[in-house]
Amino acid sequence: MTSEIERDGGAARPGRSQSRLSRRGFLGAGAGALATLPALPVAAAEPAMSGMNHAHGPAAQPSAGAAAVPPGDGRLLRVPFTAGEPLVEPEVRRAVDGVLATTLRAAYAYRDVGGYRLFVRTYEGTVPGPTLRLAPGDTLKIDLVNDLPPNRDPMPAYIDQPHRLNTTNFHFHGAHVDPGGISDNVMRSMEPGLTHKIEITLPEDHPRGSYWYHPHHHGSADVQLASGMVGAIVIEGDFADVPEIAAARERVLVLSEIVYDGFGMIEGFETLFPETAARFFTINGQRAPEIDMRPGEVQRWRLFHTGYQDDFFLKLDGHTLQAVARDGMPLPRMGTREIRSDADATDPDAILIAPGQRIDILVKAGAPGVYDLKGLPYDQGYPSPTGLFARIRVAGEPMDMALPAALPPAPFPDITDAEITGRRTLTFSAITPEADAAGHWSEFSFLIDGKPFDMNRVDQRVKLGAVEEWTVVNAHRDDHIFHIHVNPFQLVAVNGAKLTEPVWLDTAVLPRGGSITFRSRFLDFTGTFMLHCHMMNHEELGMMQVVEVYEA
């Protein structure tokens, strides 16, 4: 019999580790404390290929008890690795007769990636998890089996810190669906050792496009997402009426950044919190795979940024990445520019994608050859990671494929001044140590309207049917990533300057020292849900609010 535990408000949160790497990669402990730590192995140099430009300090000791250390002496294991293996797409699970009924098992698994054997939390033993394909009106039914080990840490009095790393739940990122009950309810606590029912029904008029799923349990979501508990969702049929896009070969590309400690695991926040902690990039769980194209061929790439923290500034040598949709919704025109807070990031052929965002791009292959898809330098308040994502091999018989001259309209009409029923302003900020680089992660707090997250406090109450304009201000020196559940929004201004072409999104870059202004219709669903920074380190340390939509 299926068993379900629902905690009051649903959030259990894992306890603090005692040692960590600091924000800039130094040990937060003093010399005396360092002398008391056991000697830990430091990972050997990366395999001989392009990696990230981040430096790393000594490997962190895992927190007590979340999982057994892998067999052997606990050292990070090297395994054979060859760059340039063909890109492999995730397993596909598809709805039948209007229902996608499936099981997702959350469990530890060994994972060989990029020359290392890691032992991390996964869905179905793979990273990423299976791709789920549905249509508007379909119902997604999941038995989520939590086979992670029991938590060994108690519930902390202060919840805005990592804790109880093996409690989980499920979020359908970007979906306009019911946020309550056993639907897309991120207040649920899905404890280890039990099977939990999820049932999410898409409205008949739900926008078609690229979405994704991941855990969202406050306290454990960051560690679980960084481990690779992520997967793509495609609501099929977008661009079916655009012949040039319909004819293009479609690829699902799940982008991520790899982190691990000296044991090849992620068992403490100290492994994640330095903002230069990422080791290298992956696509579909592969390091530096090869993507094949023919000269003149147009391919459609669905890009999913499932990384836990950093922006990716993507560039394909010798080619232009032509964006046609963001967050599952068509852009006003092909190549519409995204928000860039780095004044030096001017390359017109590159594209910025932030954590949580999805971008559908068209790529038209050039002359035969091998081209690098890579992350370029970008300043998001600290340096974004750089390095190789994949190599594109263009070879074979030429094809004569065209790019579209125009894109279909957005799924929603523009929100006019006359529709607005209310306005509000939110402010994102942070409390940081005096000596940032020497600070322990527990010295950082990330706030919205001067307050850390409290699951028992409603921060924004909105009447069902309201149409509001929100301005979100960033008072911090780093960029943040604004995301709100349930209802998409139309971005209308950045840093006070109106956009000539407003864009529909559910996740947007919030520039440091600046602001975004958007409009949203709060339709169809009442209940409580979240808005937060999708840089998951920041969300875990308090940068989240509860929104309640109520019926008058």
The pLDDT tens digits of the residues spanning 362-407 come to: 999 999 999 999 999 999 999 999 999 999 999 999 999 999 999 9
Contact 355, 309 (CB under 8 A): yes
pLDDT of residue 38: 32
CA distance 455 to 218: 9
CA distance 377 to 374: 10
**CATH number, domain containing residue 521:** 2.60.40.420
Asked if the structure places residue 291 within a domain, the reply is yes
CA distance 478 to 200: 35
Same domain as 233, residue 256: no
Asked if the structure places residue 5 within a domain, the reply is no
Same domain as 380, residue 288: yes
Same domain as 89, residue 212: yes
Same domain as 259, residue 227: no
Q: Which residues contact 445 (CB under 8 A, 6 or more apart)?
A: 160, 430, 431, 452, 541, 542
Same domain as 390, residue 314: yes
Asked if the structure places residue 319 within a domain, the reply is yes
What global pTM score does this model have?
Answer: 0.88
The residue from 185, 203, 238 where one domain ends is 238
Same domain as 278, residue 165: no
Same domain as 224, residue 273: no
CA distance 356 to 66: 26
Asked if the structure places residue 403 within a domain, the reply is no
Same domain as 232, residue 87: yes
Where in the sequence is the domain holding 490, given as residue range(s)? 422-550
The residue from 348, 377, 394 where one domain ends is 394
Asked if the structure places residue 27 within a domain, the reply is no
CA distance 352 to 137: 32
* Per-residue tokens: 206: 């739900």
CB atoms within 10 A of CB 277: 28
pLDDT below 50 — which residues of the chain?
1-50, 54-71
β-sheet bridge partners, residue 497: 494
CA distance 485 to 108: 28
| CA neighbor of 90 nearest in space, from 291, 301, 288, 284 | 284
CA distance 519 to 424: 11
Same domain as 481, residue 540: yes
pLDDT of residue 274: 77
Cα distances from 305 to residues 290, 313, 480, in angstroms, run 19, 11, 15
Same domain as 278, residue 197: no
Asked if the structure places residue 147 within a domain, the reply is yes
CA distance 12 to 165: 9
pLDDT of residue 276: 82
Q: What is the pLDDT of residues 291-325, one digit of tens each?
A: 999 999 999 999 999 999 999 999 999 999 999 99
Same domain as 181, residue 113: yes
Asked if the structure places residue 475 within a domain, the reply is yes
**Residue 29 buriedness (CB in 10 A; 0-12 / 13-18 / 19+):** middle
Asked if the structure places residue 343 within a domain, the reply is yes
β-sheet bridge partners, residue 424: 470
244-267 burial, b at 16+ Cβ within 10 Å, e below that, comes to bbeebeebbbbbbbbbbbbbbbbb
Same domain as 218, residue 286: no
CA distance 223 to 226: 5
Domain count across the chain: 3
